[in-house]
Amino acid sequence: MSIGETGTQVPPDVVQAALRAAEARGMPVADIPVLAIAQEAGISRSTLMRRLGGSRRALDEAVREAGVDPGGRKPVRERAVEAAADLLSEHGLDSMTFELVAASAQCSVHSLYAAFGSRDDLLYAVFERYSPVLGVEDVLAAPREDFEATVRRIHRLLADALGREPRVLPAVFAQVLARPGDTSVQAMFQRIYPRLLNGIGQWLAEEIDAGRVRDLPPLLLIQQMVSPVVLHFLLRPSIDQLDGVDLPGTDDALEAFTQNFLRAVAAPPGSSDN
């Protein structure tokens, strides 16, 4: 039984009937007539309204409690990811509790559990949205450019992710450095690391096999590629405020990092028969 802000107890069968009616019509719940919901529930309109305490608002709240937005606002999942990202950026990982996220996203804690299952799953969803991981996977899944062009695109994606608001990626790095044993950080790395090896690691392994890249452990190659970019763009906002410091432009810095990486990992001539 769902109890919304109105205090009305909405039976689960009524909530499910509203969701079925909305799905059948391809419309938000808020746009479905009360009569259609009543018919789907197998009751009269007057009976439905009595169960809702005379207010359609009670049904909309109950639908939100079930983790579905009834209409007029973004879905709970999207609002929660955005709210959690803002909290993480402004106050760090410890602020990203379900209670604070629910208050910011204007939803219930119950709806967050329905949408994500756990705080770790919410953190992973935030990281996936605001990190370059999806963009990098798209680059590697598309028809492959040459090695230099691919490195350049990955560097650009990483720089963009580090510089955009909310500053999720810098906040995650801060937590990793300050509290590497944090259970949420470890849970995220357990999920991200296999994706790194299956994506960037596999791509670099192919370059090694082709004789274009030195035969080094994949993790070391990945770190050598991303670490200079990460450090530069993490520190760039602070360094930019110092007097007398002439920072290179973003494009110039990225090109320097790309060329340095290419020189550092280039396989010696004749190291492969390919």
Q: Return the bridge partners of 9, or none.
A: 3
Average pLDDT value over all residues in the chain: 88
Query: In Å, what is the CA distance from 228 to each residue of 109, 158, 224, 252, 254?
Result: 40, 11, 7, 14, 10
pLDDT at 73: 64
Output 265 or 55, whichever has higher pLDDT.
265
pLDDT at 7: 53
Output 33 or 85, whichever has higher pLDDT.
85
Per cent of the chain over pLDDT 70 is 95
Q: What is the pLDDT of residues 48-106, one digit of tens each?
A: 888 888 777 888 888 888 888 777 567 788 889 999 999 999 999 988 999 999 999 88
Q: Is the pLDDT of residue 216 over 90?
A: yes
Q: What is the pLDDT of residues 140-179, one digit of tens each?
A: 998 888 999 999 999 999 999 999 999 999 999 999 999 9
Q: How many residues does the chain have?
A: 274
Query: In Å, what is the CA distance from 100 to each residue of 84, 93, 169, 191?
Result: 8, 12, 20, 25
Q: Is the pLDDT of residue 1 over 70?
A: no
- 3-state class (DSSP) for residue 143: coil
Q: Which domains does the chain have, with CATH numbers?
A: 2-65 (1.10.10), 76-117 (1.10.10.60), 131-265 (1.10.357.10)
Quickly state the pLDDT bin for 2 (edges 50, 70, 90).
very low
Beta strands in the chain (DSSP E): 2-3, 9-10
Q: How far apart are CA 184 and CA 17, in angstroms?
A: 37
Amino acid (1-letter code) at residue 229: V
Quickly state the pLDDT bin for 6 (edges 50, 70, 90).
very low
Q: How far apart are CA 64 and CA 50, in angstroms?
A: 20
Q: How far apart are CA 183 and CA 56, in angstroms?
A: 42
0.85 exceeded by the pTM? Answer: no
C-alpha gyration radius of the chain: 25
